[in-house]
Structure 1
Amino acid sequence: MTAAVQAAAPDRPPDERTMHPDSPWRIADFRTLFTAITFGQFGTNVGYVAVPLIAVSALDASPGQVGALATLSTVAFLLIGLPAGAWVDRMRHRRVLITADLVRAGLFTSIPMAWWLDVLTLEQLYVVVLLNGCATVFSDVGSQSVLPRLVGRDGLVQANAAVMSLIAVGNVAGRGAGGGLVQLLTAPVAVAFTAVSHLASALRLISIHRVPAPPSLLHGRPVRLGAQIAEGLRHVFGNRELRALAFTAALNNLGSQIVNTMLPVLFIRELGLPAGALGLFWAVGGAGLLLGARCARPIAGRLGHGRTLGLVGLWLAPAGLLVPLVDHGLGLWLAGAGYLTAMFKTGMDNVLGVSLRQRMTSDSLLGRMNATFRFLLTGALAVGAAVAGLVGELTTVHTTLWVGGVFLATAFLPVFLSPVRTRRELPRQHEGSTGIQEGKPALEPGGAG
């Protein structure tokens, strides 16, 4: 344990931190965080369906404009993702999470207000999704950084499985509800539910009181921002396992975003299906995420942690090639089965991959490690949306879906060809970390395995 962690330990009651390290549900702050994430995920997934449908149905957006909207929703991770990790490592995590939710609530409130005043434009949607993406950068990095400090490292797999299952349930319930709300109450009214959900999340987060201060605040030794960012990059790219996890997740996100960007255009404009059908299709993917997240621990316990990450990709990733078959009748069912299977793999990857990278990272580097991953993963979403818009404009929607399907089917290769595939268990301590130990210089990263 580093000096930073030792200094933070007194902030947590000993019965919560040490008596039940494998039971995060016994920790009140984890339950509070989980509830807040529940509200936020519901709102995020309703907005995921409603915002592009506003663009397609109410503002007559073209495939290129829909692609631009999706790109702007995630480009913030490319613009500020890396410095955000260093900033989060210097901030109170609870304050970061609350502020991000309040900003998102205000942004999404502006959409139904503009619609009711008959002044809603595509440009406003662009601004809202861009600024929402900036707030999401801090929310995502902050939540993944605070989790190990709340539950301890021995409780990470169970805590991550719970959070990833919740995200998957949010995909099912939120996107299904989003499609239904759009169909029954119109898309702008559905966006109002997104705003209320983020507000509820912020109010819930106020109840968290025992988050230890980040090591940088405890010791008060300022480090140059550029040096901190570089240290996070060295930690991820200098470790063969972390590097493989990052590349596999980025390729998977790239393929998923190419597919998801074109689905509203395909379902609503080309196939003439109702918004509820699109929400249901996305909900099927959420069901796959949920099943994958719930099966991750038992399968990893039988096959080994790394072998599960490698072999499940080999067995299931090719199902992504079924997604471009989406059409009326049998094609819709085949595409749904492929999407369910591909998202099952993603759900397992999320639980096992996130737990592995958190266990391989010291507390002082968590924000920067998470920011580096979010930079790559969500940056891949921005690139995928831009590629989808460009290919959709130059070719056809179905051709664009095939491009996305190929990425989904081959994304497992970096992990399969790396030392991750031979790892049976999670490391007991952070392996290969480049974290600055208190009173010591940073160490060069070393590849585990």
Structure 2
Amino acid sequence: MPSDPSPSSSRPPVTRPATIPATPVPSSKVGLERSRRSAEPGLWQDRDFRWFWAGETASQLGEQATRTVLPLLAVVALHCGPGRLGVLRAVEQAPILLFSLLVGAWVDRRRSRRFLVVADLGRAAVLAGVPIAFLLGVLGMPLLLGVAFLSGFLSVCFDVAYHATLVRLVAHDRLAQGNSALEGTRSAAQIGGPALGGGLVSLLTAPLAVAGCVLFHVLSALSIGRIRRAEPEPGGAAGQSGRGMRMAEQIREGLRLVAGDPALRAVGTASAFFQFSFAALMTVYLLFLPRALHLPGGAVGLVLAATGPGALVGSALSARLPARFGYGVVLVGAAALADGVMLCVPALHGSGAATICVLMAVNFLYGTFSQLVDVSANAIRQAVTPVHLQGRVVATLNMVGMGLGPLGSLLGGGLAAWCGLRPALLAAAAALTLSPIYLACSPLARLGRSLPERREADPDRGDRRP
């Protein structure tokens, strides 16, 4: 199954995690090389972009590994049942709902690079409390809930600021190459991160494995701190950043744009359907693998890492399929295939090689088609959103799409406690199909081979105008 979606996506990790959430597998190197090749040579000659790319890579690896380690820690070391695991995942996802809009408006008003460094160092400090508490013999569920909440909040800060930083660091004519490079990195992290997390749990025990996640966030902060280029004032000469505008007005401007644009509204609604069901599914899935199928930690990491190679294939296909079949066909078809394949999982039994191979195949297919959805949805979002509203639109879509995740996690835990792991997993997998059904009925299904054109917004009203 995939690793959890990062808050920055519109549909998982967009929000469709291609998300859960063993040693890192060598194919992660393929993802890193693919991300390098995806940017033209001139971009890689930019020293500051290289440091930014290195920092984002380390942060993604740390985040993906953490999303594997913390739930496994709760299940294996603290013996959490479905209810408590659902609460843990809900607490981890709650900051997306609570803080996304505020952080998005704040990032659009300020230089965003320092947000990245502070968020990385903050996550390192928070996560370091887990192995320290374990060594002192005071590790318990209350501490883990606090760590999950604070880490989730800092991840919201990093993910929103990262999108704004890219736009301010890379020239406009190289944004496509920069986005492609960083998407390749994310795919590589989806290979190496879960495998790394599962391997660390197997080798060091879950509490001590968190120390490895700390290291990646420290490396990310150091890399981003090496960027020397002066960060421009947000909003540029046009003054569209609304520096004189109150934060509440800026938040409303982002909300109006998402609510008033048919494409953005459809992306957010489809993501909300998906994230609610996916959060329920993942809560049950994290229990289903070790308890119903009796898979060890290393096998869990290997199974989850299979999503990453699929995401690499999806990234390659995303450059060709929309141009051939149209964005609408790709979105609806890929979403239906990605979500539909998960219905196979509840039928599996045992922990043998055949079961592991089937799980890896399911996750590979999920990663392939889910990445097609992610890349297409991100392209649509970037195409229709004015540059000065990118941070707020990302934050709004994160809140709309992933804000229902906490409720989904609680529902998944409650279903598993009430009717058992296998029936709950089947119900959650069936609920995933709501997202492609909605997409098929939305304006996105009618998109052709070209992206919709960007129209600027009235800076005083936030309205769209030709």
Query: So what's the TM-score if we normalise by structure 2?
Result: 0.84
SS at match of 1:215: coil
Inter-CA distance 136–192: structure 2 relative to 1 (3 Å threshold): same
Kept in 1, the 8 Å contact 2:334–2:370? The answer is no
The verdict on how the C-alpha distance between 1:212 and 1:304 changes in structure 2, with shifts beyond 3 A counting, is farther
Specify the code of the residue in structure 1 equivalent to 2:234: P
Distance 1:347-1:425 versus aligned 2 partners, 3 A rule: same
1:399 alignment counterpart: 423
Query: Following TM superposition, by how much is the alpha carbon of 1:147 offset from its aligned partner in structure 2, in angstroms?
Result: 2.0
Matches within 5 A, 1:201-240: 201-210=220-229, 211-215=231-235, 221-240=243-262
Cα distance in 1, alignment partners of residues 183 and 125 from structure 2? 26
Change (3 A) 1:64 1:299: same
Is the counterpart of residue 424 in structure 1 residue 449 in structure 2?
A: yes
Partner of 1:344: 368
Contact 1:77/1:375 (CA < 8 Å) preserved in 2?
yes
Cα deviation for residue 333 of structure 1 reads 4.2
Point out the more displaced range, 125-134 or 293-302: 293-302
**Counterpart position of 1:103:** 122
Q: For residues 44-103 of structure 1, give each alpha carbon's deviation from its aligned partner in whole angstroms, at most 9, with x where no partner exists.
A: 122112111211121111111111111111100111111111111112110111111110
Name the counterpart of 1:271.
293
2:377 to 347, 353, 373: 353
Quote the residue 2:155 is aligned against.
Answer: 136
The Cα of 1:292 is off from its aligned counterpart by 1.4
Secondary structure, in 3 states, of the residue corresponding to 1:273?
coil
Secondary structure in 2 aligned to 1:45? helix
Within 2, Cα distance between the matches of 1:109 and 1:221?
Answer: 36
Which AA in structure 1 matches 2:185?
L
Paired residues of 1:234 and 1:434 also in contact (CA < 8 A) = no
Residue in 2 that maps onto 1:117:
136
Deviates more, 1:271-280 or 1:253-262: 253-262
**Partner AA of 1:107 in structure 2:** V
Write the mapping of 1:115-264 to structure 2, written as runs, cut at 5 A: 115-210=134-229, 211-215=231-235, 221-264=243-286
Match of residue 410, structure 2, among 361, 368, 386: 386
Describe the shift of the 1:285–1:409 C-alpha distance in structure 2 as closer, same or farther (beyond 3 A): farther
| Cα distance, 1:23 vs structure 2 | 6.4
Matched, 1:284 2:303: no
Partners of 2:205 and 2:274 in 1: how far apart?
32
8 A contact 1:21–1:154 mirrored in 2? no
Give the Cα–Cα distance (whole angstroms) in 1 for the partners of residues 326 and 43 of structure 2: 22
Deviation at 1:193, TM superposition (A): 0.6
Deviation string, structure 1 residues 182-211 (Cα, Å, up to 9, x no partner): 111111221001011101101111122333
Distance 1:351 1:158 in 2: 13
Tell me which moved more, 297-306 or 168-177.
297-306
Compare 159-168 and 279-288 and name the one that shifted more.
159-168
Which residue of structure 1 aligns with residue 75 of structure 2? Answer: 56
| d(CA) in 2 for partners of 1:23, 1:305 | 29
Letter in 2 for 1:223: M
CA distance, structure 1, for counterparts of residue 244 and residue 434 of structure 2: 43
Distance 1:44 1:313 in 2: 25
Give, in whole Å, the separation in 1 of the partners of 2:290 and 2:437: 34
Q: How much has 1:380 moved relative to structure 2?
A: 3.1
Quick check: 2:104–2:160 contact (8 Å CA) kept in 1?
Answer: yes
CA shift digits 1:221-278 (9 cap, x unpaired): 4212221111111111211111111222232333332222222322223332200111
Q: Counterparts of 2:175 and 2:406 in 1: how far apart (Å)?
A: 29
- Residue aligned with 1:307, SS: helix
How far 1:214 moved relative to its partner?
Answer: 1.1
- CA 336–410 in structure 1, closer or farther in 2 if over 3 Å, else same: farther
C-alpha RMSD over aligned residues: 2.5
Kindly indicate whether the alpha-carbon contact (under 8 Å) linking 1:157 and 1:351 is maintained by their aligned counterparts in 2. no
Q: 1:157 to 1:307 in 2, by over 3 A?
A: farther
Specify the code of the residue in structure 2 equivalent to 1:355: A
Instruction: Say yes or no: does 1:412 pair with 2:436.
Output: yes
Aligned to 1:13: none
* Aligned counterpart for 1:91 among listed residues 110, 123, 129: 110
Change (3 A) 1:152 1:346: farther
TM score, norm. by length of structure 1: 0.87
Q: Indicate conservation of the 8 Å contact 1:320/1:338, yes or no.
A: yes
Q: Distance in 1 between matches of 2:380 and 2:335?
A: 16
Counterpart-to-counterpart distance in 2, 1:435 and 1:198: 39
Aligned length: 422
SS of the counterpart of 2:349? coil
Q: Distance in 2 between matches of 1:97 and 1:423?
A: 36
Shift of 1:165: 2.5
Give 1 or 2: higher helix fraction.
1
Unaligned segments of structure 2, at least 5 residues:
1-38
What is aligned with 1:8?
Answer: none
- Which residue does the alignment assign to 1:434? 457
Q: Is the 8 A contact 1:105 1:196 kept in 2?
A: yes
Query: What is the SS of the residue equivalent to 2:298?
Result: helix
Q: Distance in 2 between matches of 1:173 and 1:134?
A: 23
Percentage of pairs with the same residue: 32
- Per the alignment, residue 66 of structure 2 pairs with 47
34-43 or 325-334: bigger deviation: 325-334
Task: Judge conservation of contact 1:304–1:425 (CA < 8 Å) in 2.
Answer: yes
